[in-house]
Structure 1
Amino acid sequence: MLRPAPSAARGILRRQFDTSPMHHGRYLPDAALAAYVEHYWCVSWDLRGQPPRLQETLPHPNVHLVADAAGSGIFGVHTRRFATELAGQGRVFGIKFRPGGFRPFLRGPVASLANRSTPIAAVFGADGEAYQHDVIACADVEQCVAFAAQLLAAHLPAPDPTVERVAGIVARVVADRRINTAEELAQNSGLGLRALQRLFNDYVGASPKWVINRYRLHEAIERLAAGTTVDWADLALALGYYDQAHFNRDFRKLVGRSPGEFCRDEQVGEGKK
């Protein structure tokens, strides 16, 4: 039986499309794979007779294994937002690994996948090719989850305690908004800065500074999307920025729009200057 992930998806832009004929489901792994997999996900849409729609999401520090008739693969951490045009009818199924969770399967630095993808078979061999074919041909999400669990179980690596340590460090960034620099995170984690940077390069595929910055901007998106009036200067300071201008630059670079433009486009409340 499928177990839906309890928390809402974060980092989704253009949320006015939520009422369109689209479905985004997220499902928890079983206990045997929970050390490596954050959740499985499936996005389906039926836009026949409607114009194509742009869907955008902000990056997370996670590797995804994606089965898609339009282009399957293992996708490393992407440093910029992901944008795709949805048209007609389609479905995509993916495995989202925990931060650090793909390292034991890859058996090499996850940074080698940064901003790129590799075929599923490059890591999982013939089993990966068969999995890709089976999932694309399958219309039942529960069966797709079963296929994913079978693939990973067949290639289950030896236990790696570093995976749990890395996932815990990233979770600390999410939970503790007072951590706004890589130096603070290193001290909080009991590591030197260079040791933390090497650890993230090997297991996460992105730098500690990048991970902190992305989660702070995710927080900004959630606050703005909530529709409440926001004081930009106070928000910038709360998220660890020295000033509003720095926050605005980072926001525009990642989202492609200023905070004010985002609010207008998403039809949510404006902020105070």
Structure 2
Amino acid sequence: MSTNVPTPSLGIMKKQQGERKFQLSRHAPSEDLAFFIRHYWLVSWDLTGQAPYTQHVIPNPCVNLVVEPGKSAIYGPGREKFGQYLEGKGWVFGVKFKPGGFYPFVKQPVSTVLERPIGIDEVFPFDVRELEREIWAATDTEAQIAIVEQMIREKLPAKDDQVALVNEMVERIGEDHEITKVEMLCERYGIHIRSLQRLFDQYVGVSPKWAIRIARIQHAAETVDLSRAHDWSKLSMDLGYHDQAHFIKDFKSIVGQTPEAYAKKD
């Protein structure tokens, strides 16, 4: 149940630098929950005697259930990078739902349900403070996962074919850099653009155009993080941009700085 899965950055900016400040592990869900859940993640840190550290993350089209002392909630896809402030000693446990995987639990358009963080107890029959205490008291990660999975199973919905379709679409967007426009996705799946937009609004909470855009920027940031030399023209072409200026504009709108500035920043 808790076998570690590979840890690509998945939007974690400057991951190698951050891992000197915190520990991250990801774990696969049990088979009966894998239709809805991508993985569990656990971040812990001990910066005792050190300066605080902010880890920035590029958003992705997934809903996350986050358990953190005094801050537990369910969060939808963001619109721009966000920062996790790490200070002293602490931990965060998360459930990353697959794209579309959270909708069957609420049966409301994810775009409207998650305009703000919502309480875990608004969706799952569990006292939030008790959940935090149980996760903290658990002896290991497997025990933590078992607690969360028991809670989720009490509200487990029937499988929804649209979840599988949406998840396949988002995976294809991430893997196929030739998909640069919503119309291309429509053509691949034989679906009208309005129908696709409604599907994403209901199940994912963001537009397919945003999902395409964010996948390209995630890939760009990870490429920059893993390389010493940078050819911005080639990278923009590899990501399907027609010109470098458009790529730089998109990158800056999400990351907050140009690719060149991001590459130089410590």
TM-score range relative to shorter protein: over 0.9
Amino acid at match of 1:140: D
**Alpha-carbon distance between aligned partners in 2 of 1:265 and 1:258, rounded to the nearest angstrom:** 11
Amino acid at match of 1:231: D
Q: CA deviation at 1:237?
A: 2.3
1:46-195 → structure 2 map (5 Å cutoff): 46-126=46-126, 130-138=130-138, 140-195=140-195
**Alpha-carbon distance between aligned partners in 2 of 1:54 and 1:7, rounded to the nearest angstrom:** 20
**Alpha-carbon distance between aligned partners in 1 of 2:57 and 2:64, rounded to the nearest angstrom:** 14
| Cα distance change of structure 1 residues 172 and 200 upon mapping to structure 2, 3 Å threshold | same
| Cα distance change of structure 1 residues 96 and 19 upon mapping to structure 2, 3 Å threshold | closer
Q: Which moved more, 1:224-233 or 1:206-215?
A: 224-233
**Alpha-carbon distance between aligned partners in 1 of 2:182 and 2:19, rounded to the nearest angstrom:** 39
SS in structure 1 at match of 2:134: helix
**Alpha-carbon distance between aligned partners in 2 of 1:232 and 1:148, rounded to the nearest angstrom:** 43
Q: TM-score, normalised by structure 1?
A: 0.92
Amino acid at match of 1:99: P
Structure 1: gaps of 5 or more residues: 267-273
Structure 2: gaps of 5 or more residues: none
| Cα distance change of structure 1 residues 52 and 239 upon mapping to structure 2, 3 Å threshold | same
* Cα deviation 1:16-63 (Å, max 9, x = unaligned): 533524210100001100000000000000000000011101001000
Q: Which moved more, 1:206-215 or 1:116-125?
A: 116-125
**Alpha-carbon distance between aligned partners in 1 of 2:124 and 2:166, rounded to the nearest angstrom:** 23
Give the match for residue 264 of structure 2.
264
* Cα deviation 1:174-225 (Å, max 9, x = unaligned): 1211111011111111100000000000001100000000001111112111
**Alpha-carbon distance between aligned partners in 2 of 1:110 and 1:139, rounded to the nearest angstrom:** 34
SS in structure 2 at match of 1:117: coil
1:23-34 → structure 2 map (5 Å cutoff): 23-34=23-34
Give the match for residue 221 of structure 2.
221
**Alpha-carbon distance between aligned partners in 2 of 1:17 and 1:247, rounded to the nearest angstrom:** 25
**Alpha-carbon distance between aligned partners in 2 of 1:115 and 1:108, rounded to the nearest angstrom:** 12
SS in structure 2 at match of 1:118: coil
Task: Tell whether the 8 Å contact from 1:75 to 1:113 is kept in structure 2 after alignment.
Answer: no
* Cα deviation 1:126-183 (Å, max 9, x = unaligned): 4656434422443522111111111111111012111111111111111211111011
Q: CA deviation at 1:2?
A: 2.1
**Alpha-carbon distance between aligned partners in 2 of 1:257 and 1:115, rounded to the nearest angstrom:** 26
SS in structure 2 at match of 1:55: strand
Q: Taking every aligned residue pair, what percent have the same amino acid on both sides?
A: 38
Amino acid at match of 1:204: V
Q: TM-score, normalised by structure 2?
A: 0.94
Task: Tell whether the 8 Å contact from 1:114 to 1:206 is kept in structure 2 after alignment.
Answer: no
SS in structure 2 at match of 1:124: coil
**Alpha-carbon distance between aligned partners in 2 of 1:139 and 1:233, rounded to the nearest angstrom:** 50
**Alpha-carbon distance between aligned partners in 1 of 2:191 and 2:251, rounded to the nearest angstrom:** 29
| Cα distance change of structure 1 residues 52 and 213 upon mapping to structure 2, 3 Å threshold | same
Q: CA deviation at 1:7?
A: 4.3
**Alpha-carbon distance between aligned partners in 2 of 1:2 and 1:239, rounded to the nearest angstrom:** 34
| Cα distance change of structure 1 residues 83 and 7 upon mapping to structure 2, 3 Å threshold | closer
